[in-house]
Amino acid sequence: MSTPNKVEVSQVSDVTTVEITTAGPQGPAGPSLTGINFDVTGKVDNAVLYYHAASDTFKADNTTTKLTLVDGGNF
């Protein structure tokens, strides 16, 4: 298991830099997202997030991308 917090101090000539890194929660969370399901396992480049009612899930796969909207897509 790795340490989520890190402090790094470096000095070059008369300049000292302090960098503090704290790992936060990953993925969607919060009270406004309660009950919302995401499925991004099939995510592709330029995917457009859409809602799939049959699975009650928001998806970002190759079904809806910038290219499918521009080349022959319906607006």
Encode pLDDT of 16-70 as tens digits.
898 888 877 666 555 456 678 888 888 899 999 999 999 888 999 998 888 888 7
Q: Is the pTM of this model over 0.75?
A: no
Rounded to whole angstroms, how far apart are CA atoms 36 and 30? Answer: 11
pLDDT at 28: 59
Rounded to whole angstroms, how far apart are CA atoms 54 and 47? Answer: 19
pLDDT at 71: 66
pLDDT at 20: 86
Does pLDDT of 75 surpass 70? no
Q: Contact at 8 Å (CB) between 28 and 49?
A: no
At a CB cut-off of 8 Å and minimum separation 6, what does 28 contact?
36, 38
Residue type, 36: I
